[in-house]
Amino acid sequence: MATMTGRDKLRVLLPHWIEHNAEHAAEFRRWAEQAGEAEADIQVAATQMEAANEALAAALEKLGGSMENHDHAHEHDC
């Protein structure tokens, strides 16, 4: 059995992190409208999470990974 390198592990982890961040950003946006004066701050956080995902996706591409075939069901209960 071959041992996974750090790069191999990143190709597995990055799609999970990207998907997880996207779920959080969507959740931030759903809750922002209930935040009153803090709504704009929560929207900024969601935008920054989406920007982080763009950087992670660029890293994934450079590592030769893909978001295809990444099925991961993960929901947070609130």
> pLDDT tens digits for 30-54?
999 999 999 999 999 999 999 999 9
Q: Could you tell me the pTM of the whole model?
A: 0.81
The yes-or-no verdict on residue 71 having pLDDT over 80 is: no
User: 68 pLDDT band (50/70/90 cuts)?
Assistant: confident
What's the Cα-to-Cα distance from 41 to each of 22, 46, 61, 73, 76, rounded to whole Å? 17, 9, 30, 28, 21
Structure tokens at 15: 């799609």
The one-letter amino acid code at 39 reads E
Tell me the domain boundaries of the chain. 8-62
Residue 75 pLDDT more than 70? no
Buried b (16+ CB within 10 A) or exposed e, 23-32: ebbebbbeeb
Question: At residue 42, what are phi and psi to the nearest 5 degrees?
Answer: -70, -40
